[in-house]
Structure 1
Amino acid sequence: MARALGVEVKSATLRPRISGQIQRSDSSQSGYRIRVNRHEAPTRQRFTIAHEIAHFLLHRDYIGDGIEDSILYRSTLSDKREAEANRLAAELLMPKDSVIQALRVRGGRATPRIAVEIAQDFNVSEAAMSIRLGLG
């Protein structure tokens, strides 16, 4: 998706507790670059990239010289904008209709065990899927 938007994505060693950042870049088609912390789990990196794409789509006018997002999803933006980016990132990686279908296939009831299974299907963390299913 980032590639389709012309946003460059780079794996990088970021400061401790920083999961990712988006900033202006002269080298990408759109003029933006996402850097994701290479030391975090791949599922976490996927969510971070989706979160930064959400900032690009929703909050481009607020990015300025850059937005850094910590492990706790905090950034220099307001909590409202962070929540918006988290919601869109979840929808990008775990579309509601697809999650409902995956849940139906497994009996229709969300449990921690089912969350683990569906998380693997969507290549997201168990924590992200638990939140998406309303368990956490």
Structure 2
Amino acid sequence: MGSLNYYSPEQWDAAGARARADAEEILRAHWDGQLPVKPIELANKNGAWVYSSDLKDSASGMLVKADSAPPVIYVDNGDGFLRQRFTIAHELGHLVAHRQEAGDDAVSYVDFRNSTSNPVEYHANEFAGALLMPEEHFTNLVRAGKSDAELARLFKVSSRAVAVRRKTLGLGA
């Protein structure tokens, strides 16, 4: 039998808080304040190249960083526009976290659709949501009565991403 990994609530909470802080830092440093947030532009400003490719084995995205080479983010060219935006932001989250832990060392992440979650993936997902839907803008638009469909159109994310961000920020459904 395989072993199950157990992560404490504190590990999940810490990963989420760190992700949101990391995304806010990237936005403060590199975002022009215009919606929608442009994840390719932010990835480029953080030294990463972004490519679309035919990823195999149900991979949705990957981050590859070889020694002394710039990081490269790949998204699956078979995914839709909204999924690709989220995947780019997700992989940028991996890059930011990796740099904090290991500097400019080589790294490789491959993200598969419907893979199991852990604090590393949770961080990348939370980072992506916080990056693509900046808290102040998102909160103000929710309080102004924007529907989930309107929010999804404004931020260029899926309805599911809007629902998760609402929950994360305690803004109801």
TM-score by length of 1: 0.81
* Structure-to-structure mapping, 1:103-114, within 5 angstroms: 103-106=142-145, 114=147
Alignment partners' CA distance in 2, 1:69 and 1:86: 11
Partners of 1:13 and 1:37 within 8 A in 2: yes
- 1:116 Cα deviation after fit: 1.6
Structure 2: runs of 5+ lacking an equivalent: 1-41
SS of 2:157's equivalent?
A: coil
Q: In percent, how many aligned pairs have the same letter? A: 33
- Across the aligned residues of Structure 1 and Structure 2, the Cα RMSD in angstroms comes to 2.4
Do structure 1's residue 66 and structure 2's residue 105 form an aligned pair?
no
Which of 74, 84, 92 is the equivalent residue of 1:35?
A: 74
Give the match for residue 164 of structure 2.
Answer: 131
Per-residue CA deviation, residues 93-115 of structure 1 (Å, 9 max, x unaligned), is 011111111111217xxxxxx21
Say yes or no: does 1:94 pair with 2:133. yes
Match of 2:83 in 1: 44
| 1:9 positional shift | 0.3
CA distance in 2, matches of 1:71, 1:8: 22
Per-residue CA distance 1:21-80 (angstroms, 9 max, x = gap): 00025796xx21000001111011000000000100012439845110112255xxx711
In the alignment, what sits opposite 1:23?
64
Unpaired segments ≥5 residues, structure 1 = 108-113
1:19 partner SS: strand
Q: TM-score, normalised by structure 2?
A: 0.65
Distance in structure 2 (CA, Å) of the matches to 1:27 and 1:2: 18
The corresponding residue for 1:5 is 46
Distance in 1 (alpha carbons) for counterparts of 2:66 and 2:53 = 15
When structure 1 is superposed on structure 2, of 43-52 and 57-66 the one drifting more is 57-66
Quote the Cα distance in structure 1 between the aligned partners of 2:68 and 2:85. Answer: 22
Q: 1:80 aligns with which of 119, 122, 126?
A: 119
**Equivalent residue, structure 1, for 2:18:** none
Q: Are the aligned partners of 1:21 and 1:34 in contact in 2 as well (CA < 8 Å)? A: yes
Q: Say if 1:86 and 1:124 are closer, same or farther in 2 by CA, change over 3 A.
A: same
Q: Which residue of 1 aligns with 2:96?
A: 57
